[in-house]
Structure 1
Amino acid sequence: MLFSLLIAPAAAEAALPPSNPGTPPMSDSPWSLLPAASANAEALDTLYIFFWVLCGIAFVGMIGVQAYFMWKYKKPAHGHAKTSPLTHNGKLEFIWSAIPTFFFVILFAWGEIEYMKQVTPPPDAMDVRVTGQKWSWTIEYPEVKGCSLTNDLYVPVGKPMRLTMTSVDVIHSFYLPAFRLKKDVVPGRYTVLWFEATKPGLYPLMCTEYCGDEHSSMVGRVHVVPQEEYDAVLAKACELKQGDAESAEDFGARVVTRGGCASCHTTDGTVKTGPSFKGLFGKSETLADGSTVTVDENYIRESILEPNAKIVSGFSLQMPSFAGRFDDKQIAALIAYIKAQK
């Protein structure tokens, strides 16, 4: 395995997990919830608040009754008073059983209704494919040919989005805190999540299933934009072409930023999940089968498209294939970039 993607010094900061992945602004009050940015979040917040109000009323009522009994039946100054014989009260027992049961049924029915809404995507929802891998999210838009983004999900306001998700390695968990949504992403199968964003903004995307030593780096951003701007914004985000005045190395750096590979590789010689890129080009590498190979243009290209073909000794197979994600010009730019890493 050579690399998941390449990373240039100029692109290192951009390719690293963002220091501010778009966390919604927090209230000064520790009692406030995160801003609700989807219809689902608003519905769940209402249920959540109702639950805690109910718990608060029950708590105050129980403590109040205990305090009253402690006061009423405290030891009198003249000594203990003999109480009358006690027997059970059927009416009282029914009441204190019926009241909690009534509210438990309300909570169950309310939760079940919201759950069924959340697991049933509307027929007009836009389809997006999500693939989790150590340690990034690949977002693909079927309606935009060749559009494959890493760690950036673009969403129009007021339009249902259906995410069909899978993993290429281990179990991940796709989490959108501002949308109050979380779903496991499992290798070998598909899971589905849908939502309808209600507020434009930048929101965090996280993995909440421990998936390895760089688990905390598996973060991204959800860009919620107005419906009338969505097509243009998505087209611009998906565009990845070399500028007229841009060198191949600089273009390769932008391709790296799109891929987001800093969680697996470094440029300072430090070894992480994959080999470091520092001084890699022209180096003789020992492979897992004991043979050796020189890191040249053909080897780099093969490692991008067929990472299983030649795995460097000391590294496990964790890199997915990038065939179909980068065209020949983009791969050539990556090769030009890695040549410059001394």
Structure 2
Amino acid sequence: MSTSSVVDADIGLELIPTQASAYASQVDNLYFVLLALSGLLILVLVGLIVGFGFRYSSKRSGERGKAVPEKLGQRIEIGFALILAVSFLGLFVWAGWLYLNLYGETESDFTINVIGKQWMWKAQHPDGTREINTLHIPVDQTVKLRLTSQDVIHSFSLPALRLKRDAVPGMYTEAHFRATEPGEYRLFCAEYCGTEHARMRGKLVVLSQADYQGWLGRQGKGPSPEVAGQDLFRSYGCSGCHQGDASVRAPTLDGVFGRTRPLASGEMIEADEAYLRNSILQPQKHVVAGYEPVMPSYKGQISEDEIFQIIAYIKSLPAGAWKQSTGAGQ
């Protein structure tokens, strides 16, 4: 498994970073239009201020001309305000569409788990391969990032892809992208996170799909998150309550992911990744209807890496998995 140290891509100062994704050009187009409209607005306003200041200076003598009729002045003001409102509302809609296109729900080819920690980025690929401060991905495939933080708020930033997403303690955030140009690109933390913030950087390595598979093969295949999660599920004693003939009556987890669960409070909640994480660290927050709030919290005992793996294992459980694999009752 790869555990490379802090690495910088060999790139000099870039005023405008390389465009390494189709999304990057769309963001740049929005940026340049916004820059042009802002510059035009500044020129108009500064031009009017300078022009009026010169024309109506107290030092100038002579005829100043007739005043603009009040109604005409009102129409000019209203027209100018409407043009600005429509222009910037259009920019807002455009930017909102781009944001939803990047951070909304979409189909992805695979998911990489990313954890921010003072002061490094830890990534795990679907086959179990791990990296630190370096992220290898294949070109022309949609990659989904699932991000969280182990300590403070970090921000995962890939300027060449025009992607920036916060990694927040206690929750999962997601982003997806499709790199279109092979090469090495900078990876930053774009949120001040402590004294070593400036050193929390690395690189994104975009490979051809064949080279990516070759790179994975050279890392030495480790246990997949599902397999590692199963071992952790047992070692932390979760299977003693949630699977098999348990002495403590607890809800089964077979096929639970994605289902709606009734809570003791009378509410209904979807068993998504956030729910599973809260059930591990804050088990009293969402108590399933019909069960006692007896599960202890694992907060401070289990790392974010391990939580990712346990959740991956729970997600892999089909309905009745324990019965099918062992013949045990629930």
Q: TM-score under structure 1 normalisation?
A: 0.58
Distance 2:82 2:172 in 1: 43
The equivalent residue for 1:100 is 84
Query: Which one of 189, 195, 199 corresponds to residue 213 of structure 1?
Result: 195
Distance 2:150 2:60 in 1: 76
Query: Which one of 46, 59, 63 corresponds to residue 42 of structure 2?
Result: 59
Residues 40 and 80 of structure 1, relative CA distance in 2, 3 Å threshold: same
Residues 77 and 124 of structure 1, relative CA distance in 2, 3 Å threshold: closer
Deviation per CA, 1:135-163, whole angstroms, max 9, x where unpaired? 22211111x2x311212111111111101
Query: Which one of 12, 23, 26 corresponds to residue 43 of structure 1?
Result: 26
Distance 1:155 1:55 in 2: 37
Residues 76 and 206 of structure 1, relative CA distance in 2, 3 Å threshold: closer
Distance 1:82 1:133 in 2: 68
Q: Is the 8 A contact 1:139 1:149 kept in 2?
A: yes
Query: Which one of 189, 200, 203 corresponds to residue 185 of structure 2?
Result: 203
Q: Does 1:239 align with 2:220?
A: yes
Deviation per CA, 1:274-305, whole angstroms, max 9, x where unpaired? xxxxxxxxxxxxxxxxxxxxxxxxxxxxxxxx
The equivalent residue for 1:22 is 9
Distance 2:162 2:181 in 1: 14
Secondary structure of the residue that 2:70 maps to in structure 1?
coil
Deviation per CA, 1:219-276, whole angstroms, max 9, x where unpaired? 221101122322112322x2389xxxxxxxxxxxxxxxxxxxxxxxxxxxxxxxxxxx
Q: How many residues align?
A: 227
The equivalent residue for 1:116 is 100
Residues 190 and 92 of structure 1, relative CA distance in 2, 3 Å threshold: same
Q: Which runs of 5+ in 1 are unaligned?
A: 1-10, 242-316, 325-342
Distance 2:159 2:192 in 1: 17
Distance 1:85 1:322 in 2: 70
Q: Is the 8 A contact 2:129 2:221 kept in 1?
A: no
Pairwise CA distance, 1:179: 1.7
The equivalent residue for 1:127 is 111
AA of the residue aligned to 1:177: P
Q: Is the 8 A contact 1:152 1:223 kept in 2?
A: yes
The equivalent residue for 2:323 is none
Residues 25 and 36 of structure 1, relative CA distance in 2, 3 Å threshold: farther
AA of the residue aligned to 2:35: W
Secondary structure of the residue that 1:113 maps to in structure 2?
helix
Pairwise CA distance, 1:173: 1.7
Residues 122 and 24 of structure 1, relative CA distance in 2, 3 Å threshold: farther
Distance 2:305 2:54 in 1: 74
Secondary structure of the residue that 2:147 maps to in structure 1?
strand
Q: Is the 8 A contact 1:37 1:179 kept in 2?
A: yes
Q: Does 1:178 align with 2:165?
A: no
The equivalent residue for 2:207 is 225
Deviation per CA, 1:198-239, whole angstroms, max 9, x where unpaired? 211111212223333333332221101122322112322x23
Pairwise CA distance, 1:81: 5.3
Residues 104 and 74 of structure 1, relative CA distance in 2, 3 Å threshold: same
Residues 321 and 130 of structure 1, relative CA distance in 2, 3 Å threshold: closer
Deviation per CA, 1:173-202, whole angstroms, max 9, x where unpaired? 211122222212122221111111121111
Distance 1:84 1:210 in 2: 54
Q: Is the 8 A contact 1:24 1:34 kept in 2?
A: no
Deviation per CA, 1:56-81, whole angstroms, max 9, x where unpaired? 12222223333433444455865575
Q: How does 1:131-210 map to 2 (within 5 A)?
A: 131-142=115-126, 144=127, 146-210=128-192
AA of the residue aligned to 1:101: A
Pairwise CA distance, 1:113: 0.7
Q: Is the 8 A contact 1:178 1:203 kept in 2?
A: yes
Say what the alpha-carbon RMSD is for the aligned residues: 3.2
Pairwise CA distance, 1:39: 2.1
Q: Is the 8 A contact 1:136 1:219 kept in 2?
A: yes
